[in-house]
Amino acid sequence: MQGINDKVCAAISAMLISLLTACGGGGTSNGSGAATPASGIHLQIVSFGDSLSDVGTYAPIASAVGGGRFTTNPGQVWTQDVAQYYGDTLSAAFTIDSTHKLSAQSGLGYAEGGATVATQANLYDFLADLIGNIEMPVNQQVSSYLATHGSFNSNQLVLVWAGSNDVLRAGALPPAAQTVQTAATTLAQIVGQIVQNGATHVVVVNAPNIGLSPKGIASPDGGANLTQLSQIFNDSLNAALQANGLQGKVIQIDSYTWMNQIIANFQANGFAVSNTSVACDPTKTPRATALLCSPSTYATANADQRYLFADDLHPTTRLHALFAQFVEQQIAKSGLGH
């Protein structure tokens, strides 16, 4: 009798699945058999930048302690959230191997922790002994994509967020101004290269207010130098994009203003702790870096949702998710999806 009952249950389950599929129970059908994503439009995501967008370059090593991305692991970063919104999955284009070399993968997430625009990577590498000086600068990320794929296309959404490491490594004003200005104008040139090679949907994110990060407010000047450098970078980026005729060809995202507003209204945005502390307990998290952060090293059980920052520079899972929503809204305002 048990065998007969099992067969009956299996038949009923199969029938229910068939009915749900026919009625669209698994998602909204667009007529082609593929579910329509929340954005209303399918797009392939390509990402360039640094640790703020890194989807797992160093995961093969970091996963040994439950880490993998520069956030409150196992949470996602904003580029992954955006990819899901447009019906895509974003994985790393390169990952570190056992010999501490980058190994090409099949993903389109080219952003790498530590990457710069126009500053030498080996000037600042807090994980040099762990991962080595292997960061791929943003221009090389784009060149690597083009060498592999030839061009961009109109079915892609290209995300570009870089410059924070150039700001962090620039030093003190006034001489540091030239460093970040060069980085900003170089980034505009890289964006131009992306557009010239066929990209029609390009998102360019400016530098956040790094002076308001836990690292910034803990510095002797309370973050004033980093705030000024962030502003100089953003002003220079805007000017360069305009001078190069790119402002009307890209979707600009103002992370600087957005972050200021989130920090000023952190409780209204669902956070319990602002930029005064971090979710990854520095006494438990190896190297006190979000890359090696896991639930076992959280300051509290739900720190990934209660804190703004994972470590002294990088957003938590919740902050990444909110930023992704903001980006999606700005993209929709440009007329792409909803």
Residue 257: other Cβ atoms inside 10 A:
13
CB 280 within 8 A of CB 307: no
Predicted local distance difference test score (pLDDT) of residue 259: 98
DSSP string, 197-236: TT-S-EEEE----GGGSHHHHTSTTTTHHHHHHHHHHHHH
**3 state SS of 321:** helix
Q: List average pLDDT for each run of 10 residues in the chain, which is 338 residues long.
A: 38 32 33 73 97 96 95 98 98 89 94 90 58 80 97 98 96 97 98 98 98 98 98 98 96 98 98 98 96 98 98 98 98 94
Q: What share of the chain is helix, strand, coil (3-state, %, to 5)?
A: 45, 10, 45
Predicted local distance difference test score (pLDDT) of residue 121: 63
Predicted local distance difference test score (pLDDT) of residue 25: 32
Report which of 124, 112, 252, 120 is spatially closest to residue 182, judged by C-alpha positions: 120
Predicted local distance difference test score (pLDDT) of residue 133: 63
Predicted local distance difference test score (pLDDT) of residue 127: 63
Question: Can you name the residues that pair with 161 across neighbouring β-strands?
Answer: 49, 205
Q: What is the spatial distance between Cα 200 and Cα 251, in angstroms, rounded to a whole number? A: 10
Instruction: Identify the helix (H) or strand (E) that includes residue 103.
Output: strand 102-104
Predicted local distance difference test score (pLDDT) of residue 97: 82
